[in-house]
Homo-oligomer: A and B are copies of this chain.
Amino acid sequence: MSVLGLVVEYNPFHNGHLYHLQKAKKLTNPEVTVAVMSGDFVQRGEPAIIDKYARTEMALNAGIDLVVQLPLVYSVQDAGGFALGSIWILSLLGVNEVVFGSESDNLQFLYNLARIVVEEPELYLNRLKVHLKSGVSFPNARKYALRDYLTMNWEGEVPNIEEAGSSNNILGLEYLVAIKRLGSKIRAHSIKRLGADYNDPEFKGSFSSATAIREMVLRGETERLKETVPDFSKEILLREIKNRGAVTLQSMDKLLMGLLRTTSRDEYAQYYGFVEGLDRRFERCAENTGEIQAFLECVKTKRFTFTRIKRLVMNLLFKLTHEVVKNSWDYGPQYIRVLGFDEKGRAYLASIKKKLILPLITAPTQGKNLSRIVSYEGVTVDVFKGQFQRDLRSAAVYSLFQKGSLPDFEYKRHVIYKRG
């Protein structure tokens, strides 16, 4: 049985996502398609423009059969943690094929890189240290270390290592690394992306990036939306913007700046990722700037990119301590939070439920029933609490920035069931 798994954010769902989904299905001919999706906060270290329920609707409309949530502790981590959590969940759900987008489709080359990253030969590690010391970002240091290693160990012509450094190839590489680390039987495939780069802020017609589409929507220019997102996505997006508003990092200005201005240098140390004098930079920049955008610009260096800083702000907001992150690497995801399914997805879930080593959570109140939770062999209760609490917190914080914020919002939501 072929079970296709995708790692998605759909922020929002657009033509590029539809193309990828259709190609992936053609490639693997799956009986069921499962997506693991970031919740209300995505890998850019930001809130999604519309909430996870609306994005689940988009996924189901597009032909995904089952949507589960990537816990926050993975969704706002760097590419390595994001990929590990995603692949771990897909593996547990019985997925045997994953298809990711990449700037090239030289999968064999990425596999070779993944092997180096996982096996960590000494030469590679030494070069990595050298490049990290020079002050470049981790992805770049790794890229240069891989290049150095390959130059000395590759038979034949070394492929263009720059390919490994683009956002999608970093993720692609990390998926392969995660598969290897977990000893997963998942087969990976890659599809060459069409159109605009992931981060390209310009509207490029039919295949614009999600970034460009969000910018357009935030400027209130929705008339060209139909060129670049499927009809169902446009409908859901406009409905959400009208009823609940768009959520951005800027919406959260007062909360984030208030938090930064009440945190002092020594307090940052407990949160994941605050290294090498970042605490001092954070403190100084929080004193000197009054808005989150200015704060990010103040902290930014060559080594600490905007995305990395935004993720650190999320680590602070949601109290992602070293312990919570480390546990999530060591113990893996502790539950499967189901966001939505169609009939096929529901039947599939029922068919694997008995074999599952993690609790299925279809309504957040189930997370309160610890005696049920601990009966699963894949669960360690403290790790479960650390992850689940952050998911609840992130939903609770997100809903504050939506119009007509409902009390008790998260607890009252149900799985989205798309019938027939």
Q: Do the beta carbons of B264 and A399 come within 8 Å of each other? A: no
How many Å lie between the Cα of A396 and that of B263 in the bound state? 11
Contacts of A319 in B (CB 8 A): 262
Q: Do the beta carbons of B400 and A262 come within 8 Å of each other? A: no
Q: Do the beta carbons of B396 and A318 come within 8 Å of each other? A: no
A interface residues, how many (CB within 8 angstroms): 30
- Whether A393 contacts B287 in the complex (CB less than 8 A), given A252-B254, A254-B252, A254-B255, comes out as no
Contacts of A264 in B (CB 8 A): 389, 393
Q: Do the beta carbons of B255 and A258 come within 8 Å of each other? A: yes
How many Å lie between the Cα of A377 and that of B223 in the bound state? 70
Q: Do the beta carbons of B290 and A400 come within 8 Å of each other? A: yes
Contacts of A401 in B (CB 8 A): 254
> Copy number of this protein in the oligomer?
2
**A385 closest partner in B (C-beta):** B264
Q: Do the beta carbons of A287 and B400 come within 8 Å of each other? A: no
Q: Do the beta carbons of A258 and B397 come within 8 Å of each other? A: yes
Could you say which of A232-240, A301-309, A406-414 contacts chain B?
Answer: A406-414
A18 within 8 A of B: no
Q: Do the beta carbons of A317 and B262 come within 8 Å of each other? A: yes
List residues of A whose CB falls within 8 A of some B CB: 252, 254-255, 257-259, 261-262, 264, 286-290, 294, 317-319, 389, 393, 396-397, 399-401, 405-408, 411
8 Å CB contact of A287 from B262, B294, B318, B411: B411
Contacts of A317 in B (CB 8 A): 258, 262
Q: Do the beta carbons of B397 and A262 come within 8 Å of each other? A: yes
Known contacts A252-B258, A262-B317, A294-B407, then 12 further A-B pairs from the complex at CB < 8 Å, ordered by chain A residue: A252-B254, A254-B255, A255-B255, A258-B317, A261-B393, A261-B400, A264-B389, A287-B396, A287-B407, A287-B408, A288-B408, A290-B399
How many Å lie between the Cα of A201 and that of B410 in the bound state? 37
Contacts of A407 in B (CB 8 A): 287-290, 294
Contacts of A393 in B (CB 8 A): 261-262, 264
A307 nearest CB across to chain B (Å): 22
Contacts of A389 in B (CB 8 A): 264
How many Å lie between the Cα of A396 and that of B318 in the bound state? 21
How many Å lie between the Cα of A109 and that of B116 in the bound state? 83
Q: Do the beta carbons of B288 and A258 come within 8 Å of each other? A: no
How many Å lie between the Cα of A406 and that of B288 in the bound state? 8
- Whether A400 contacts B257 in the complex (CB less than 8 A), given A262-B317, A319-B262, A393-B262, comes out as yes
10 inter-chain pairs at a CB distance below 8 angstroms, sorted by A residue, are A254-B254, A258-B259, A261-B393, A262-B318, A264-B389, A287-B396, A287-B411, A290-B405, A290-B406, A290-B407
How many Å lie between the Cα of A406 and that of B290 in the bound state? 7
Contacts of A318 in B (CB 8 A): 262
Most interface-central of A294, A318, A405, A407 (chain B CB within 10 A): A407
How many Å lie between the Cα of A405 and that of B317 in the bound state? 22
How many Å lie between the Cα of A393 and that of B252 in the bound state? 19
**A408 closest partner in B (C-beta):** B288
